[in-house]
A and B are shown apart, each in its own frame.
Chain A
Amino acid sequence: MKILVCISKTPDTTAKIAFAEGNTKFDENGVQWIINPYDEWYALVKAIELKERDASVTIHLVTVGGADTEPIIRKALALGGDEAFRVNNTSNDSMVVAQEIAAIAKQGAYDLILTGKETIDYNSASIGAMLSALLDQNFISAAVKLDLNGKIAIVTREIEGGEETCETNLPVIISCQKGMAEQRIPNMRGIMAARTKPLNVLEASISAQNTTIKSFELPPAKTGVKLVDPTNMDELVRLLKEEAKVI
């Protein structure tokens, strides 16, 4: 059983969001980088849980990005990946990223490809579905639970206003969210072992961009909260009705 986990580098959830170079680039000054939480807490840890139940499982990691992504790949290896691939392509077009991952996936013939449901920076939520089309494999999105029964995956996913469970034959691509697994912290043995695990660097092979980011913008600052006297809720109702016009 071979599992490929797609890993992305994102700013920490508490990072200050600001832009540089005339609002055309994310301002990386002072930003702490983390593994995208959906990729780490849910996709990677789920793969580790499957390996703990079945020692024949091999976990490969793939990330598409520059050399600055290597610390987060080492962390993912410390958590429990066996081998990692970094494709040296800094494009932020999802299609380019998906094509690079698909090339790795074709080489590896994986039974299971896990991604986070989206990254917390560009929020594209696109890689899993794109891989499905590029590899002609089934895709199940926004999964909250996964079990394997031989060559069958039993997956519970979010639907509008509830959940549904389905079964499908491997190979399958699954995007993961809360419920799949619980966050873990790498231990010292894992950190030491990660230093010698293979991290293969491949050159970028895709360059054509379907989309180009022109600029970023911060939302207009809130004009400031209007405080209402706690003993005068009639006034709050009036404001919601007449000023905000939401009720």
Chain B
Amino acid sequence: MVLIYIDNADQEIKNASHEAICYGAALAKQLGTSAEALILGNVNEDLASLGKYGASKIHQVKNSALTHFDSKQFATVISEAAKVLGASVLVFAHNVNGKAVAPAVAVKLGAGIVTGACALPKTDNDFVVTKTVFSGKAFASIQINTAIKIITINQNSFGVLMQDANALVENLEINVPVSNLKITSVDKIKGEIPLTEATLVVSGGRGLKGPENWGILLDLAKALGASTACSRPVSDSDWRPHHEHVGQTGLQIAPNLYIAIGISGAIQHLAGVNRSKTIVVINKDPEAPFFKAADYGVVGDAFEVVPELTAAILKSKGGA
């Protein structure tokens, strides 16, 4: 059985977990087995509806001690659940919590693990998973040699497919150890889609010359319904908040569309965005290295091009 861990940070199930279920369901089909999901704690969502992503059963460990993500505690519960349920493959989203718990589960189950997978494994003779390495600059095919296998799947690399189905929701009794972490504050950015979950991203660099010029970028983001990001020099100069920094040392994202405005495309920046499906680069310097990594390029002054693009998008939306 393929068991998919559902990350329910703040009682909310994010797109990364929907995608993990879809991936697990496709893998289960390939292996001729069932896809079931595991959720820890209570959640304000209709769990049966998660069947639409392909899980036939949702196992829920309800326990008042499971109020907040704690890697050590969750790893213990997930490992016990996997043993009780007889899981042969475990799938996690490669998001913050998935990365923090899956390798610990691998130790507890004596399982081989591949983190950051970007496709379904090849399972004809052995079990070989392809993952991104060198910060998205290459792929590695890795064979898992153990009976139990664990995969974390890169966000927005497999996609979400929906069908018309409901899952059976069952209670699972597992001993839950106490957490030794005390959460003292949670600070969430209100009203924005987290960058790692965004499908459309508009990003600005030093070419915009100063924080006072961000209006044209924000207008474009608003017209598209996109999230905003920035390059490292921009966040280092405090033109934009640090949580918007994408790149090698910032967030690594993989949206469907990444529009880079006034970003030259240093290799460290590309490492954070090179898994984007489509990249548009707007830069007045035709020699900017980012053009080599782009699908579409506009050589021109951002202060003229960006408002034109915003107008064109609004026009196309109005006309549709």
Contacts and interface: CB of A to CB of B under 8 A. Distances in A.
Are A and B physically bound partners?
yes
A163 B180 CA distance: 19
Contacts of A120: 134-135, 248, 271
Interface in B269-320: 271, 277-278, 280-281, 291-301, 304-305, 308-309, 311-313, 315-316
Contacts of A148: none
Given A134-B107, A162-B188, A246-B278, A215 B140 contact: yes
Nearest to B256: A246
Given A162-B188, A211-B113, A225-B292, A132 B137 contact: no
A138 B297 CA distance: 47
A121 B133 contact: yes
Contacts of B183: 164-166
Contact of A236 (B104, B114, B196, B309): B309
B186 A159 contact: yes
Interface magnitude class on chain A: 35 or more
Nearest to A122: B133
B96 A244 contact: no
A8 interface: no
A162 B200 CA distance: 19
Interface stretch (A12-20, A74-82, A190-198): A12-20
Contacts, number: 275
B294 A222 contact: yes
Interface in A129-167: 129-130, 132-134, 136-142, 154, 157-167
Interface in A57-100: 93-95, 98
B20 to A, nearest CB: 14
Contact of A247 (B72, B101, B292, B313): B313
Contacts of B137: 17, 218-219
A129 B131 CA distance: 19
B139 interface: yes
A166 B316 contact: no
Contacts of B107: 95, 98, 130, 133-134
Contact of B305 (A95, A227, A233, A241): A233
B236 to A, nearest CB: 10
A161 B14 CA distance: 11
Contacts of B316: 234, 237-238, 241
Nearest to A152: B182
A169 interface: yes
A132 B308 CA distance: 53
A32 interface: no
B165 interface: no
Contacts of B142: 211-214
A128 to B, nearest CB: 8
A19 B138 contact: yes
Contacts of A228: 296-298
A19 B134 CA distance: 12
B209 interface: no
Interface stretch (B26-34, B38-46, B54-62, B143-151): B143-151
A141 B114 CA distance: 18
A207 interface: no
A217 interface: yes
Contacts of B96: 141-142, 157-160
A164 B187 contact: yes
Given A132-B75, A160-B14, A227-B299, 16 more contacts: A13-B267, A123-B115, A125-B116, A128-B100, A133-B75, A133-B106, A133-B108, A160-B95, A165-B185, A210-B106, A217-B141, A228-B296, A233-B305, A236-B296, A244-B277, A247-B200
15 contacts: A120-B134, A123-B132, A124-B115, A133-B107, A159-B186, A161-B188, A178-B245, A210-B110, A211-B145, A216-B133, A217-B140, A226-B295, A239-B296, A240-B280, A241-B316
Closest 6 CB pairs of A and B: A230-B300, A161-B194, A210-B112, A162-B188, A133-B107, A126-B103
